[in-house]
Amino acid sequence: MNKYYLTTPLYYVNAKPHVGHAYTNIIADCMARFKRLEGRDVFLLTGTDEHGEKIKKIATESGEDVEKFVDRFSDNFKKLWEKLNVSYDFFIRTTCDFHKEVVKKIILSLHQKGDIYRKKYKGYYCIPCESFWTEFQLKRSAECPDCSRAVDILEEDNYFFKLSKYQDWLIKYLKSNTDFVRPKTRYNEVLSFLEKNTLEDLCISRLKKRLSWGIDFPLDDNYVVYVWFDALANYISGIGFGSNEKKFKSLWPADIHFMAKDILRHHAIFWPIMLKALDIEPPRVIFAHGWWKFEGEKMSKTRGNIVNPLDLIAALSKSLSRDDQIAVDALRYFLLREVPLGLDGTFSWSALVNRINSDLANDLGNLVFRTLNMAEKYLQGQVCPKDHELPSEFKESIVGLDKKYLDRMNRCEFSCALEEVFKFISVMNKYIEDTKPWVLWKENKEDKIKSFLYSLLEGIRIISLHIYPVMPTVAESINRQLGLDGKPFVLHNKTWANQKKFRIKKESPLFPRIDVD
C-alpha cells in the first residue's frame, strides 16, 4: 500500500491560532514530508470546526455576521499553515455543503441500523462546552469536568447514539491492537477507562432553540447535530466518503490521526465506535501528543496565555536577521526537538534561543559555513575527487541514520531522530578539528584536501535530506549552496557517494547566533 493518509484536528474558529495549534500541524507536516521522502503517496487533511453556539455567540458579540466571522477566522488558520510551510492537501471546513450532507447521511444510516434512538434526557449540561454530563462524571458538584464552569440542569428529549453497544468490541479491539492509541501512556489510559466505566450512549442532538448554528438534524427539524459528531466525520467526508467512493477507498483507513491529549476520548472512543457502527475500518493510529505550557499552565485561549506564532516568527526573524522562512524552520526545529512527542513542554523565549544558538548556529550552521568556505578557498568551489570512500569516523553515524533515524521517524519520535542527525553533525565538526585541513593546505596535499572536503559535503548533503521533514527551507538552502538545486528530496538518495561532485554557491551563514539578554 503506497498511500499515507494523515490528519490534524479541525480547530475551532472562535479565536486566533496559537503555538499549540501550530505544534500539531508542524508534527503532521513533518510526518507528511518524511513519508514523501520515503516515496509514499501522502494526503494530509486539516481544517476548521465551525459550528456550535460559542462560535455564534462570539461572532454576534463582535457584531459580525456569523458566516463572515467563520470565513475570517478559518482564513487565519489557512494563512498560518502557509506561513509555517504546512504542506496540506485539503483544508476542510465543517460548514462546507458536502460535509453537511455526509453528516446527515451518516445519521440516517445509523438510525436505519437501530443505533440512534430518541429518549428523554434529564441531567447536567455545560453550555460553553455543549456537553452533557452524568452525576458520576462531575468532578465537583455542578462543575463541568472539562472547563470547570457551572453546569445547568436540563430535561428534554434528545437523540442518542448507542456507544454502549460497542464498548466490548472496542476493548477487544484495543487489546488486539496495542499500537492503536499512542503513546503507550494514552493507550493505557483509554483501555483502563473503558474497563472501569460503563459507556453512556452519546447525545448527538441539540435543540435548535438553544443551539442553532449547526447542521440540521436529518431526523427532526427541531434539532441540530452535536458539534463533535459533526466534526469527527470530517476525517472521512474530507477524502470523499459519500461523494467520491473511489478516492475514499484509496485513502481510508487513515494511517494516523494527530491531536493533543485533551481530545483523546473523542478520538479513541467516539470515533472508532462511529466507524464500527458504519461498518468502516478504524484508523490505524491515534496519536495524542502533549501540551505546550506557558508560565506553568496549558496554553489556551480560555486562560489567555497564548503565544501567537506569527509574532514569534517576526521576532525570531528580526533577531536572526534572516527572512521569515528561516525563522519558521527554527521554530519548527525547536518544537520538534525540544520535547519528545507525547510529553508536555514549557515554552519560553530563552529555551528557544538556547536551542537555536547551540544546535542551529553552533553545530549545523557552523559546519555548513566553514565547509563551504574551505571548498571555495582551497578548491575554488569545485569538489570532484578521485576517492569517494566513506571516512571511518563517519561509519557509525551513517549506520545510525540508516537504522535509528528511519525507525524513530516512523514511530513519531522526532526528537530522537533529530538527535541522530545532530550526532553526525558533531562527528563532522570534530573531523574538521582532527584533520586540520589548514595544515594539509600548507603541505600542498591537494588530493587529501579534495577527499576530505568531498566527505564533508557529501555528509552535509545527507544531513540536508534528513532534516528536510523538519526544516524544509534550510534543507533547500543547503542543497542550493551545494549546487544541487532541483535534486529531489527522496530517501533513495541517501546512500554514500550518491553525489559525485559539488559546485559550491555559498550564501550567508544559515543561522547567526542570537544575543541572549
Among residues 89, 101, 262, 476, the one that binds ligand ME8 under rule CB under 6 A: 262
Query: Rounded to whole angstroms, how far apart are CA atoms 141 and 152?
Result: 11
Nearest distance from C-beta of residue 191 to ligand ME8, angstroms:
20
CA angle 104, 164, 50 (to 5 degrees): 35
Residues numbered 136-195 forming contacts with ligand ME8, rule: CB under 6 A: none
- 3-state SS of 352-377 is HHHHHHHHHHHHHHHHHHHHHHHHHH
Strands 181-182 and 286-289, bridge-based pairing: parallel
Burial label for 146, CB within 10 Å (0-12, 13-18, 19+), is middle
Chain positions 21 to 60 lying near ligand ME8, rule: CB under 6 A, are 21, 23-24, 49
Residues 6+ apart with CB under 8 A from 489: 33, 36, 37, 465, 468, 475
User: With respect to ligand ME8, which residue has the nearer C-beta, 21 or 56?
Assistant: 21
Question: In the stretch 300-339, what mask flags binding to ligand ME8 with x, by CB under 6 A?
Answer: x---------------------------------------
**CA 309 to CA 26: how far, in whole Å?**
12
CB of 140 to ligand ME8, least distance (A): 23
Angle at 357 between CA 351 and CA 360, to 5 degrees: 110
Closer residue to ligand ME8 (CB): 260 or 453: 260
> What distance in Å separates the CA atoms of residue 460 and residue 370, rounded to the nearest whole number?
12
Cell output for 392: 571511518
Residue 91 binds to ligand ME8 (criterion: CB under 6 A) = no
Residue bearing cell 494530509: 44
- Smallest gap from Cβ 231 to ligand ME8, in A, equals 4
* Binding residues with ligand ME8: total (CB under 6 A): 21
Window contacting ligand ME8 (CB under 6 A); options: 73-81, 230-238, 313-321, 408-416 = 230-238
Residue 335 CB, nearest approach to ligand ME8 (Å): 9
Footprint of ligand ME8 on residues 397-416 (CB under 6 A)? none
Show the beta-strand stretches assigned E in 178-249.
181-182, 202-203, 205-207, 223-225
Tell me if 427 sits within 8 A of 394, measured CB to CB.
Answer: yes
Shortest Cβ 27–ligand ME8 spacing (Å) = 9
The minimum distance between CB 251 and ligand ME8, in angstroms, equals: 17
Question: Considering only residues 4, 5, 6, 9, which one is a binding residue for ligand ME8 as defined by CB under 6 A?
Answer: 9
| Least separation in angstroms between CB 324 and ligand ME8 | 22
Residue among 170, 232, 412, 460 that touches ligand ME8 (CB under 6 A) = 232
CB of 234 to ligand ME8, least distance (A): 6
- Hey, which bits of 109-161 come out as E strands? 116-126, 131-133, 152-161
Contacting ligand ME8 (CB under 6 A), which of 32, 106, 181, 259?
259
Sole binder of ligand ME8 in the list 4, 5, 10, 417 (CB under 6 A): 10
Q: Of 22 and 456, which CB lies nearer to ligand ME8 in the complex structure?
A: 22
Among residues 300 and 371, whose Cβ is nearest to ligand ME8?
300
Cα four-point dihedral sign 25, 26, 29, 34: negative
Strand order in the sheet with 202-203: 131-133, 116-126, 152-161, 202-203
Stretch that binds ligand ME8, among 116-124, 187-195, 292-300, 500-508 (CB under 6 A): 292-300
CA distance 269 to 516: 46
Region binding ligand ME8 by CB under 6 A among candidate stretches 5-13, 38-46, 149-157, 185-193: 5-13
Shortest Å, Cβ 410 to ligand ME8? 21
**C-alpha torsion 116→122→123→127, nearest 10:** 70
Is there binding between residue 341 and ligand ME8 (CB under 6 A)? Answer: no
259/463 with CB nearer ligand ME8: 259
**Least distance (Å) between residue 11 CB and ligand ME8:** 4
Which residue number is nearest to ligand ME8 in terms of Cβ?
20
Residue from 298, 370, 411, 487 binding ligand ME8 (CB under 6 A): 298
Q: Which three cell numbers stand for residue 420?
A: 541522530
- The set of cell numbers assigned to 291 is 501540551
What is the chain's alpha carbon radius of gyration, rounded to the nearest angstrom? 26
**Could you list the residues that contact ligand ME8 (CB under 6 A)?**
9-12, 20-21, 23-24, 49, 231-232, 234, 259-260, 262-263, 291-292, 298-300
